Amino acid sequence: MGQNVAEKLIDSHLLEGDMTPGEEIGIRMDQTLTQDATGTLVMLELEAMGLERVKTDLSAQYVDHNLIQEDNKNPDDHFFLQSACKKFGAWYSRPGNGVSHPVHQERFGKPGKTLVGSDSHTPAAGAIGMLAIGSGGMDVAMCMAGEPYYFKMPEVWGVELTGELPDWVSAKDVILEMLRRHDVDGAVGRIIEYYGPGLDELETMDRHVIANMGTELGATSTVFPADDEVRRFMKGQDREEDFTRLEADPDATYDHHEQIDLSELEPLIAKPSSPGNVVPVREEVGRDLSQAYIGSSANPGYRDFAVAAEMVEGKQVKTDVSFDVNPTSRQILENLDRDDHLLSLIHSGARIHQAGCNGCIGMGQAPATDTNSLRTVPRNFPDRSGTKEDRVFLVSPETATASALRGEITDPRDLDMPYPDVSDPDDPIVNEQSLEAPPSPEESRKVELRKGPNVSSIPHLDPIPDHVEIPINFKAEDDISTDEILRAGTDVLPYRSNIPEISKFSFDVVDPNYYDKAMDTRDDGGHAVVGGKNYGQGSSREHAALAPRYLGLRVVVARDYARIHWQNLVNFGVLPLNFIDDQDYELFSQGDELRIRDIHDQVRAGSEVEVENATTGRTVTTRHLLSDRQQEVLFKGGMINWMKERI
Ligand code: MIC
């Protein structure tokens, strides 16, 4: 029987297990990607493991998150990362080069290859026919050290695209339609694979938009075929030699089917504060707004900015609207300048920022209180922008720009202008000078890590005891995100290389007392957390597991988990349990004592674990989903301890 693209990519890299959905497999990762807000911990993990040099085809470290230099912390981390790249043999992308995902696609991505990245939006590289998966930094460090990447074999969800995109409707509206239909956990346990005649409507960077935000449906990854359009893109990047055609076999099948007739789409908008809260723009028109923001890894392409530039050419955006333009790569900025699009944007009243993630993760550009902010970013979890009770709407560049011109939420189809006919240039300026290649192994051996005062070592973590009787420090609602467990923002993100400091912000969005309560019990057995559905959705930040673990978190019992966060909990020795009976969630309250006996025997004997509420006397049966390998990691106290014994 024929294979689809996802199956071909996995099959060609399979090292352990068999491709049965739900079973754990191990695959070879050809490339790794780290960004600076997760990469500092990765480099500390490599140092802790005693790794001499990365064992991948290519590892690249980007500086795109911690760009605001209000004191020494971020610039110190930039130099730390640069020294680590020299020492471990990775490429270094300096601050200002842009967001990891578009830059990696421009300079390093290759069809048919695999990529794991310490950023949840790594699947964007699926746009060029890669299998690209976001993961916690520990998993990325393991792959940099030559270990297989382990994950549960996903089901493959075939999405057939037909028809043609109407004017004013673009790639963002396609992925917003998927979110409208299936919400933020609709693709958990699946790889989404797009195919069909509608692909001709999508340039490679348009596919990047869709692949990037497959993450917001909980997808393990998203893939597109490597076809003539991908060849065109790579030729434009002076890398046609890296192109390999990769398409599904004619008799390929899928585990799930979806069909989107592009002709039926209209401009869509995700309302606060979930990417799944999607309605047609026409239902929201007329609302005022204080900000229209274009850019981020979720609309990074030249076209995304050029269409905005042509919409505002010779016009002025409303003065009470902050029109924030966030370039996504140095190359794209250079090409927008070459083609006079930058001039149009500047002259219209836009605020041009440096190439990077910036406002997407609350690193600047926070909206004013009680105002609406329309953004082309991938997610709008509560308070993520940096403003308490923010109201961030997710939209296409067309909708954001139309709203900036009118000063209110506007359906771009209502503008009295022709739809700009812009596309990705076949002959872009290519700039690879700003990427620093790794030195020779001989040179690397001479390099010392350059650590500023804010770079702390990885804390030692002891294994979970065989018996716990601990307080439930916090009980989370459904869909709690990593931005609520451990937020980003200008006051927190610079502490990503300093676990003791960053742990002080744990859960502070939803429980300002979490830290103090945790510190009260940290040396007396620790604590537990109870969660709802989709616990830990969103980001790859392993800090959202490590910081609470540092404060004494031992056990999480939830209805179910977001894939990446579940793995991060295991990697740092926290036991993740699932309620079997959904109603059992109601039997545990914040402040109750949670008791589990004979943990090692229970976990090893099967998948069921008895959990008692020592306060009420009720006992429930929960389930763990740990493979034998993951059980060993857990009982060693986490992946670093486990790996140290192997190196
Ligand atoms: C995000 O978009 O939430 C981030 C910031 O890129 C995170 C990584 C991080 O927290 O550093 C992600 O998506 O993985």
Which atom of ligand 1 approaches the CA of 297 most closely?
A: 2
Q: State mean pLDDT over 120-128.
A: 98
Residue corresponding to tokens 């390999």: 244
Q: Which of 480, 482, 495 to mutate to test the pocket of ligand 1 (most atoms within 8 A of CB)?
A: 482
591 pLDDT exceeds 80?
Answer: yes
For the cut 90, the answer to whether the pLDDT of residue 595 exceeds it is yes
Q: Residue 140 CB: number of other CB atoms within 10 A? A: 33
Take atom 7 of ligand 1 and give the residue whose Cα is closest.
539
210 inside domain: yes
pLDDT tens, position by position, 340-395: 999 999 999 999 999 999 999 999 999 999 999 999 999 999 999 999 999 999 99
CA 457 to chain centre: 25
Task: Report the separation in Å between the CA atom of 505 and the middle of ligand 1, taken as the mean of its atom positions.
Answer: 16
Instruction: Check whether 467 has a pLDDT greater than 80.
Output: yes
| 614 Cα–ligand 1 center, Å | 37
Atom number in ligand 1 closest to CA 493: 11
Sign of the four-CA dihedral 585, 591, 597, 600 = positive
Answer whether residue 461 is part of any domain.
no
With a 6 Å cutoff on the Cβ, whether 37 touches ligand 1 is yes
CA distance 471 to 609: 18
38 Cβ inside 6 Å of ligand 1: yes
For the segment 494-506, what is each residue's pLDDT rounded down to a tens digit?
A: 999 999 999 999 9
Cα–ligand 1 centroid distance for 383 (angstroms): 14
3-state SS class at 508: coil
Query: If you measure from the C-alpha of residue 162 to the centroid of ligand 1, how many angstroms do you get, rounded to a whole number?
Result: 32
Q: Averaged over 231-236, what is the pLDDT? A: 98
Are both 234 and 286 inside the same structural domain?
no
CA distance 278 to 176: 7
Q: Phi-psi bin for 91: left (phi > 0), alpha (psi -120 to 50), beta?
A: beta
Cα(134) to ligand 1 centroid in Å equals 10
Residue nearest ligand 1's atom 9 by CA? 541
Question: Cβ distance 353 to 325 under 8 Å?
Answer: yes
Termini Cα distance of the chain: 41
232 shares a domain with 124: yes
With a CB cutoff of 8 Å and minimum separation 6, the contacts of 466 are 597, 598, 599, 600
| Confidence category of residue 457, pLDDT binned at 50, 70, 90 | confident
420, part of any domain: no
Same domain, 311 and 243: no
Q: Based on the structure, what is the number of domains in the chain?
A: 3
* Ligand 1 center to 586 CA (angstroms): 31
* 51 membership: H or E segment, kind and range: none
User: How far away, in angstroms, is 119 Cα from ligand 1 center?
Assistant: 5
Say yes or no: 236 and 322 in one domain: no
For residue 145, the number of C-alpha atoms closer than 13 Å in the C-beta half-sphere is 24
Do 150 and 210 belong together in one domain? yes
- Of 389, 414, 439, the residue that ends a domain is 414
Which one, of 494, 492, 484, lies nearest residue 529 by Cα?
Answer: 484
Residue 204, Cα to own-chain centre: how many angstroms? 19
Asked which of 392, 414, 436 is the last residue of a domain, the reply is: 414
Q: Same structural domain for residues 305 and 323?
A: yes
Distance separating alpha carbons of residues 178 and 512, to the nearest angstrom: 35
Gyration radius (Cα) of the chain, Å: 24
- The whole-angstrom separation of Cα 537 and Cα 479 is 6
For the residues 482-499, what does the mean pLDDT come to? Answer: 95
With the most atoms of ligand 1 within 8 angstroms of its CB, the residue from 38, 101, 380, 563 to mutate is 38
Exposure on the CB side of residue 594, measured as CA atoms within 13 A:
31
Residue 446 lies in a domain: no
Return the DSSP state at 123.
Answer: G
Give the CATH number of the domain where residue 56 resides: 3.30.499.10
Percent of the chain residues past pLDDT 90, beyond the cut: 97
Q: Hey, whose CA ends up nearest to atom 4 of ligand 1? A: 539
Q: Is the CB of 540 under 6 A from ligand 1?
A: yes
Parallel, antiparallel or unpaired: strands 468-475 and 593-596: antiparallel
Looking at residue 378, its pLDDT comes to 98
Check whether residue 335 and residue 399 sit in a common domain.
yes
Tell me: the pLDDT tens digits for 42-71?
A: 999 999 888 999 999 999 999 999 999 999
The DSSP-derived string for 273-301 is: T-TT-EEEGGGTTT-B-SEEEEESTTS-S
The residues that bridge with 623 in the sheet, in sequence order, are: 578, 608
Is there an atom of ligand 1 within 6 Å of 541 CB?
yes
Whose alpha carbon is nearest atom 5 of ligand 1?
Answer: 361
pLDDT (average), residues 407-412: 98
Q: Which atom of ligand 1 is nearest to the CA of 543?
A: 10
**The residue type at 202:** L
Instruction: Find out whether 369 and 295 touch, Cβ atoms under 8 Å.
Output: no
What is the overall mean pLDDT for the chain?
97
Which ligand 1 atom is nearest residue 496's CA?
A: 11
Burial 326-344 (b: 16+ CB within 10 A, else e): bbbbbbbbbbbeebebbeb
d(CA 471, CA 527): 5
Euclidean distance between CA atoms 455 and 498, whole angstroms: 6
Ligand 1: residue of 361, 546, 564 to mutate (most ligand atoms within 8 A of CB) is 361
Asked, for residue 608, whether it belongs to a domain, the answer is: yes
Among 245, 264, 283, identify where a domain stops.
264
Q: Are residues 257 and 274 in the same domain?
A: no
**Residue partners of 497: CB distance under 8 A and separation at least 6:** 40, 41, 44, 77, 80, 454, 455, 456
- Which atom belonging to ligand 1 lies closest to the Cα atom of 37? 11
Pocket test for ligand 1, best of 486, 541, 568 (most atoms within 8 A of CB): 541
Residue 221 pairs in a beta bridge with: 191
| For residue 209, pLDDT beyond 80 | yes
Question: How close is the Cα of 193 to the center of ligand 1, in Å?
Answer: 23
Please check whether residues 300 and 231 belong to one and the same domain.
no
Residue 532 has pLDDT above 80, yes or no: yes
Q: What is the pTM of this model?
A: 0.96
Are both 247 and 293 inside the same structural domain?
no
The pLDDT value recorded for residue 375 is: 98
Query: How confident is the model over 303-331, as pLDDT tens digits?
Result: 999 999 999 999 999 999 999 999 999 99
Do 228 and 365 belong to one domain? no
Across the range 552-579, mean pLDDT stands at: 98
282 and 246 in a single domain? The answer is no
DSSP state, residue 433: T
Distance of alpha carbon 530 from the chain centroid: 24
488 in contact with ligand 1, CB cutoff 6 A: yes
What's the CA-to-centroid distance between 521 and ligand 1, angstroms? 29
Residue 623 reports pLDDT greater than 80: yes
Domain CATH number, residue 561 = 3.20.19.10
**CA-to-CA distance for 100 and 97, rounded, in angstroms?**
9
CA distance 172 to 193: 16
Q: Is the shortest distance between the CB of 135 and ligand 1 below 6 Å? A: no
Asked if omega into 273 is within 30° of 0 (cis), the reply is yes
Residue-range definition of the domain harbouring residue 311: 268-414
| Most ligand 1 atoms within 8 A of CB, residue of 67, 121, 384, 543 to mutate | 121
439 domain-assigned: no
Question: What is the per-residue pLDDT for 646?
Answer: 77
Round to whole Å and give the CA distance between 132 and 41: 21
Q: Cα–Cα distance between 542 and 639 in angstroms, integer?
A: 12
Position 114 in a domain: yes
Nearby residues of 182 by Cβ (< 8 Å), 6 or more positions away:
217, 276
CA of residue 268 to ligand 1 center, whole Å: 24
Residue nearest atom 6 of ligand 1, based on CA coordinates: 119
Confirm whether 81 is domain-assigned. Answer: yes
